Structure 1
Amino acid sequence: MTTPFAITTINVNGIRASVKQRNENNPGMLPWLADHAPDVVLMQEIRASEAITRKALAPALDDGWFLTMTESDVKGRSGVGVLTRAEPSAVRIGFGSDEFDTSGRYLEADVDLGGSTVTVASLYLPSGAALTDDPKDVEKYEEKVRFLNEFGPYLDKLVGADGQVVVAGDWNIAHTERDIKNWKGNRKNSGFLPHEREWVGARITSGWADVARIHHGDVDGPYAWWSWRGKAFDNDSGWRIDYHLATPALAARLQSTHVHRADAYDRRWSDHAPVTATFL
């Protein structure tokens, strides 16, 4: 007998900031976690050591959550983690990259979910930059290209094994015009560049299923990231860069996906909203 299970991805934008009570209407991440209680939470941009993260998440860990994470080799940067209700049977850091396996961008865990072993992976893909004459932009652009060139074949091999796997997180790429509100104004910006979008398309062609797009169909969004600036959140002028890609064996079990969009700007505890996929 199988039972439903929920996998949430959320870029916490700094774990210490996300758990902090921001105002009387916004108690932060921990009450959200207690109220919604998914089976797995895939976190990105933790930006803290494991010791600091454990302290920030102490109420959840005391309540029985298991934390697995990897830090960035650059202090205060990146960092991904997995919160699970059941202790993982195996954990793997990175994807075999000499450059990126110590950068806190990818982590896999095998977890018993719905009566079978499911591999859940948290991803924080480099944000990159548009290619300009600025050396810093060139460096960020080339870093993202290198990551895509290494990570793409790894994903193709993973989906080819036909296991039950979901890779979710902040992909920092909006795949189609449906995935970004102001797509015309962002055609030359990182996250919506032609080669980036083609890269995501190639992963789907190789067999990965974008489960939110399958569930919601050919509609705008639903977006899960909005700039803190201006009226982006109020106008729902966002990006869909937080999503789950699942292997066919797991995608066949999809029940629904949902963006937990805050009901007001001042109730946000990250510039990203949690996105949950439920499987049976």
Structure 2
Amino acid sequence: MDMDAPTDPTFTVSAFTVASFNVNGIRAARRRGFDQWLQTRAADVIALQELRCPASELGEFPGYSVAADVGSVAGRNGVAVLTRTPAAAVRSWVSHPPRARGLAEFAAAGRYIEVDLADRPVTVASLYLPKGGLPADRQRPGSMREQPDGGAKYDRKRRFLTGFARELDRSRLAARRAGREFLLAGDLNIAHTQYDVTNWRAARTMDGFLPEDREWFDSILGSRRLVDVVRQTHGEAPGPLTWWSWAGQSFVKDVGWRVDHQLATPGLARLASAVVVDKEPSPDQRLSDHAPLVVSYG
């Protein structure tokens, strides 16, 4: 199996927009104005992460068909893909358990779902990658925001990353065999380059920007694999950012991270024409600690 087999260089598709948004709890986001954003933005496809509610409380998304995996842990995780036309196929890790070693423990957690668009030859996946921690030998009691855990969260994230890289290859190649491009959208809890973190030098010792996090990110990208369409479009310049702490003046001063990504197979990436982050004008208008990442294709 050629993991780096190229997609069709002549691929074309009618113009459409894809938004990726970690809502940090859909019920809370709705109270803050999510529904107005949904109707105003009017994206063709929307990948959501951190729904954090049972299926019975998801509510309606007017004008959209919903494919969701809310997970089995109350108040945690949950992913969805909203489409204007009902998806031709839906695959979650519940309906289609991951085959890669190390992912079984995450299968019911509501972290991954993918759909085949019915109106375009594209498969779109929504991912909420686990937040990790520091390895045991880098944990210093008294200098950490969280209690030392002996590296448990770090090890858990490593297991996910190792297995997911293999599972991602399978999904990407399955899409290619079906004549489809593939798009991974979501919160990866990793900033890839120095342009994705405001204070990147200090971040090098933090979860999400550790050397091993960035090396893993490198491993899933490539001119014949997946392309970071945001960096491709924005160029090698700081930003855009998609996450800011609720605390302090981070939002006002635009001190944050880009952990939200859209990674596309080359044929689709070539058609990415514009990137927008729907950052609210003031802190009291924020819908989440993340802002929607919107990419136009075609």
When the two structures are superposed, what TM-score results if normalisation uses the length of structure 2?
0.85
| Number of the residue aligned with 1:81 | 80
**Selected match of 1:156 from 169, 174, 180:** 169
| Number of the residue aligned with 2:89 | 90
Q: Distance in 2 between matches of 1:90 and 1:32?
A: 27
**Selected match of 1:112 from 106, 110, 118:** 118
Q: What is the CA distance between 1:156 and its match in structure 2?
A: 2.8
**Selected match of 2:237 from 199, 211, 219:** 219
Q: What is the CA distance between 1:137 and its match in structure 2?
A: 5.6
> 1:224-250 CA deviation, whole Å, 9 max, x = no partner?
000000110111101011010001121
For 1:253, the aligned partner's letter is L
Aligned residues: 266
| Number of the residue aligned with 1:17 | 28
Q: Distance in 1 between matches of 2:105 and 2:87?
A: 26
Residues 1:171 and 2:188 aligned together? yes
Q: What is the CA distance between 1:89 and its match in structure 2?
A: 0.8
Structure 1: gaps spanning 5 or more residues: 22-27
Q: What is the CA distance between 1:112 and its match in structure 2?
A: 2.8
When the two structures are superposed, what TM-score results if normalisation uses the length of structure 1?
0.90
Q: Distance in 2 between matches of 1:47 and 1:139?
A: 23
Residues 245-254 or 41-50, more deviating: 245-254
Q: What is the CA distance between 1:36 and its match in structure 2?
A: 1.0
Q: What is the CA distance between 1:88 and its match in structure 2?
A: 0.4
| Number of the residue aligned with 2:290 | 272
The answer as to whether partners of 1:8 and 1:41 remain within 8 angstroms in 2 is yes
Residues 1:141 and 2:147 aligned together? no
For 2:14, the aligned partner's letter is T
| Number of the residue aligned with 1:24 | none
| Number of the residue aligned with 1:129 | 133
Q: What is the CA distance between 1:158 and its match in structure 2?
A: 3.5
Structure 2: gaps spanning 5 or more residues: 1-11, 140-146
Residues 63-72 or 269-278, more deviating: 63-72
Q: What is the CA distance between 1:160 and its match in structure 2?
A: 4.4
For 1:37, the aligned partner's letter is A
| Number of the residue aligned with 1:4 | 15
Residues 1:188 and 2:205 aligned together? yes
Q: Distance in 1 between matches of 2:169 and 2:13?
A: 28
| Number of the residue aligned with 2:106 | 100
Residues 92-101 or 180-189, more deviating: 92-101
**Selected match of 1:52 from 51, 57, 60:** 57
Residues 136-145 or 256-265, more deviating: 136-145
Q: Distance in 2 between matches of 1:200 and 1:271?
A: 23
Residues 1:249 and 2:260 aligned together? no
| Number of the residue aligned with 1:25 | none
Computed over aligned residues only, the root mean square deviation of the Cα atoms, in angstroms, reads: 1.6
Q: Distance in 1 between matches of 2:279 and 2:55?
A: 28
The answer as to whether partners of 1:170 and 1:243 remain within 8 angstroms in 2 is yes
